[in-house]
Amino acid sequence: MSREMPMIVSHYTRNTGYEREVLKLSASLARWGLASDITVIDSLGSWRANSNYCSVIVQQALARYPGRDVLRVDADAVFQRYPDLFRHEDFTADVAAHVHDFRWHPRELLGGTLFFRNTPAVRVIVDSWVVMCMKLRPQERNGDLLQELLHAFKNQITFAELPAAYCKIFDLMREVPDPVIEHFQASRRFKRLVNAQGGRI
């Protein structure tokens, strides 16, 4: 017996290059018949603020889909294969993400693909994540903030490291074959422009 596939969520900023990127994500989701909820937002004033809003997207999805788990991906992601890991009965993690050893950042939690079990304990962590991302430490990476929270709550939830194939960065992780979810790092092209325009292109 298999589990229900999580609801796949993402967000992008109106009137930016991400409007083109998200079309590729949507097409890949349709290819595999995956249910999704993709939100468009007005700019919050900077690329970092727009990016950290992913915490709010997850919080809203957990409330909107009670009883259903949530898989959050960046707007520039493409599902190259069906993500069947999340349907396996032995996949029991409360939160899951890929943790990668880059030369410049060992043990970095990659925020491009994030799984959240829809449980009370996970919702408490996500609520704290939103406060940290949007109010207390808005200049920091949401992935770093989540990693810090997961460590603080390690005795209350189960964390699992996703295989690299579920969060492959197309050029920085060339050694990863046959990606399931591939990320194309649109921020390298858009971040400076978004910030220069007060969060807009």
Among 86, 89, 52, 90, residue whose Cα is nearest residue 69 = 86
Which of the four pLDDT bands, split at 50, 70 and 90, describes residue 200? Answer: very low
The per-residue pLDDT for range 88-113, each reduced to its tens digit, is 999 999 999 999 887 766 899 999 99
Task: Kindly state the average pLDDT of the residues 111-140.
Answer: 98
The Cα-based distances of 116 to 55, 91, 137, 180, 186 in angstroms read 11, 12, 22, 18, 24
Residue identified by tokens 């996970």 is: 122
End-to-end CA distance of the chain: 47
Q: What's residue 104's pLDDT?
A: 67
Structure-model confidence comparison of residues 126 and 101, the more confident one:
126
Q: Which domains does the chain have, with CATH numbers?
A: 7-196 (3.90.550.10)
Q: Is the pLDDT of residue 114 over 70?
A: yes
Q: Is the pLDDT of residue 2 over 90?
A: no
The per-residue pLDDT for range 151-166, each reduced to its tens digit, is 999 999 999 999 999 9
And the tokens for 165? 């194939």
Q: What are the two backbone dihedrals, phi and then psi, of residue 59, each rounded to the nearest 5 degrees?
A: -55, -45
